[in-house]
Chain A
Amino acid sequence: MKPTRSVGHGQRGKAAGMRSRLSRWLVAAPPSLFLALFFLAPSLIMAGASFRFPGELGGLAPLTASAAHGSDHGLTLEAYAFVFGDWVYLWICLKSFAIAAVTTLACLALAYPLAMLIAASPRKRRDLLVLLVILPFASNFLVRVYAWMIVLGPMDLLYTQTAVLIAMVYVHLPFMILPLYINLEKHDPALLDAAQDLGANAWRRFWHVTFPLSLPGVFAGSALVFIPVLGMFAVPELLGGTRDILIGNLIKEQFLDNRDWPLGAALSLVLTAMVLALAWGTLRLARARTRGLA
C-alpha cells in the first residue's frame, strides 16, 4: 500500500491549471446534476412535506386552503408532535435499530471469513466466486423472499422474528461480502509475513494486522447493510408476524394505507437524523486512535 503523492499545480502553467479545472467541472457536472435533481430535490420536498397538513385523499393539503386546520400559513409541527407524543414510535424505532444491528453483526460474522477465503483464492477462481456472491441479484428480490416462505414454512419458523432475521441476513449478505473482499484483496501479503517473522501467531496476525487494516471495508459493509435494513418493509411484512412491524413498515403505511404523507415524511426524517447521528458517532469512534506507544 504505497501512498500516492499528488503532483502540485505549482510547476504547471496557469493555463494548464485552468484547463484541468474546467475538465474536472465538465466531468463532475452530469452526475452532480442528476443527484441534485433526483436525490436532493425529493429529499427537500419530503422535508417540506413533514411540516404540512395531509390532503383529504392522500398527498398534501394545498398551502392556501389550510384555514380549515386553523393555520394561516399552511405549516405545522403536528406530524412531529405525533411522532414524539407516542412512545410506540420510539419503541418501533429502537426495535428496528436492534434488528439492523443484529443483522449487520450476523452479516459481518458470515461475510468476513468468506471474503478472506475469496481474497486468498487464486486470481481466476476469485472472479468466479465474486460472480457467485452476486448471482442472487439475477432473480427478483420478492421472488427470493417468497422462496424463503417455502423454506421456512415447514420449519415452523414462518411469521416469526427469526424468519425476519434470517431473510434480512440472506438479502444483505452480498453487500457485506463485496466491500470486505475489495478491501482484503488489496492487503500486501508481505505484511503478514513480516508480522509472522516478528513473532505473531495466526490469531495475532489477524488481530493486529488484517483486522485493523480491513476496518474501512467493515465500516462500508456495515453501512450498506445497516441502513437498508432500517428501511426494509417487504421482509417483515411477508415473513414476520403482526408484532414484527419495523420503522420501514410504519413509514410505508403512512404513505400507502393511512395516506398521511406528513407523518410518513416526519418519520423518515427522524430516521435519517438518527442514522446520521449514528454514522457520525461511529466515525468519531473510528478516528479516535487506540493508545499507541508514541
Chain B
Amino acid sequence: MLLELRNVTRRFGALAAVQAVSLDIEAGEFFTLLGPSGCGKTTLLRMIAGFDAPDQGDILLEGANLAGTPPERRPVHTVFQSYALFPHMSVADNVGFPLLMSRRTREEIVPLVREALAKVHLADKAADYPHELSGGQKQRVALARALVNRPRLLLLDEPLGALDAKLREEMRSELIRLQRDVGITFVFVTHAQTEALALSHRIAVMNAGRVEQVDTPERIYEQPVNRFVAEFIGTCNLIDATVAAATAAHLGLDLGTLGEVVAPAAPGIAVGERGTLALRPEQIRLSARGHAERLRNQFEATVRESLYLGDVTHYSVALANGRTLQALAANSGSARAQLFSTGDAVTVAWRHDAGHFLR
C-alpha cells in the first residue's frame, strides 16, 4: 500500500470539512477524489501534502506516518489549480526548481529538465517565461515541474478546471498517457464526473466530508451504493420501491400505483424492504405505442419534452401516475431511434437486468 488514510478528520470550528475518511491507495494507481464543491477534497489533499494536519487520524506513506513531516520533506508534489508557476523564472528554471532544492548539481539538472520538458512536448519552450505561455502550456510546465524529481505521489487539485472545454479533453488523454508513462501514483481531485470516469482506475465519491463509495468507474456508474452517488454521477431516475420478491436472479419491486417491475438481484435484500430503484436514462427505451417489443418492465407514457443534442436526444416522459422519467436515445447507427415530439404517446420500457436497487 502506498498511501493509507486512517480515520482522517479535520474540523474548522463547528464544520467537519473531512470526517473519518479511510482510504487505501496503491502504487501506480490513478485515484480520483470526486465530489461537489465544498465537500472537503482540497482539505484532504492539503493534509496529504502537509499544508494542513488532521485533527484525528493518520496519514501513512509506504507505512510511515507523515505526522510532523513538513511539506518540503514529503516525497509528495502538488499541481495547483492556478499552476503557481514562478513568474520570475524561465520554464527551464521552473522545472529545475525541485531538483535545485534537492541539491542536485547543474550537470545533473540540465538533462533531467530537458527530458521532463520533452515528456510534456515543451522542449522548445525552455527559455520562455510563464507569462508567454498559453493555459495548456502552463499546465504542462506545472506537470513537468511536479514530476521531474519523481515524487512517490502526485496530487492534482482540479488541474483542468481553468482550461476551456476542448483543451480539457486534450489534457485528459495527455494525463492518462503521462501517468502510464511515468508510473507515478496520481491522486486527482475533481468535481466533474466525466473527468473522473474517463481518467481513473478508482474513484472515491465524497459528500460533505465523507467518502460515500470507493470503486472502479464502471461500478460507481452502474452500481452506486446510494442515492447521492447515483445522482452525482450523471443523471439518474430514482423511483421509490418496495421489495415484493427476492430470488437469486431477480428482485420483484413494487412501484406503488405503477405496479410491479423486475430488477437484478442484489445481495442481502429481503422482501418487504423499502428503497429506491435507480435507472439510467440510457437504459430506458422509448417506442411508439403499439410497436413495443415485449419487455417485462413496460409502461405507457407521454412525451413532455425532447431536447435534440446531436448525438443523442434527451426526453422527459410522464407516466400514468404523473411521475416523469428521463430517457436518452442515441441518434445514430442502425438502431437509430425514432424522434418523438412533445405530446406523443409512447411506451417506455427497460430490460429486466437494467436498473439497480438502492436501500
Contacts and interface: CB of A to CB of B under 8 A. Distances in A.
A293 B72 contact: no
Contact of A212 (B73, B88, B90, B100): B88
A59 B76 CA distance: 74
Contacts of A283: none
B84 A191 contact: yes
Interface stretch (A47-55, A118-126, A198-206): A198-206
B72 A193 contact: no
Given A194-B80, A194-B84, A201 B72 contact: yes
A293 B99 CA distance: 12
Contacts of A208: 86, 97, 100
B243 interface: no
Given A196-B70, A198-B146, A190 B82 contact: yes
Contact of B77 (A3, A191, A198): A198
B110 interface: yes
B185 to A, nearest CB: 16
B72 A196 contact: yes
Interface residues of A, number: 22
Interface string B59-90: 00000000000111100111010101111111
Contacts of A198: 72, 77, 97-98, 101, 145-146
Contacts of B78: 193-194, 197
B184 to A, nearest CB: 15
B128 to A, nearest CB: 8
A197 B77 contact: yes
Nearest to A199: B101
B255 to A, nearest CB: 51
A238 interface: no
B92 A193 contact: no
Contacts of B85: 194
B87 A197 contact: no
Q: Which bucket holds chain B's interface residue count?
A: 35 or more
Given A3-B131, A293-B126, A196 B80 contact: no
A148 B301 CA distance: 92
B49 interface: yes
A195 interface: yes
Contact of B92 (A1, A209, A292): A292
A188 interface: yes
A294 interface: yes
Contacts of A269: none
Interface string A169-204: 000000000000000000010110111111111001
B332 interface: no
13 contacts: A191-B87, A194-B85, A196-B72, A198-B97, A199-B101, A200-B72, A204-B101, A212-B88, A213-B87, A292-B89, A292-B90, A293-B110, A294-B91
B51 interface: yes
A28 B89 CA distance: 35
B217 interface: no
B297 to A, nearest CB: 52
A205 to B, nearest CB: 9
Most chain B beta-carbon neighbours within 10 Å: one of A191, A196, A204, A208: A196
A3 B138 CA distance: 13
Contacts of B76: 197
Contacts of B80: 190, 193-194
A73 B126 CA distance: 63
Given A3-B131, A196-B72, A198-B97, A294 B84 contact: no
Contacts of A190: 80, 82, 84
B332 to A, nearest CB: 39
Nearest to B125: A294
B270 interface: no
Contacts of A209: 86
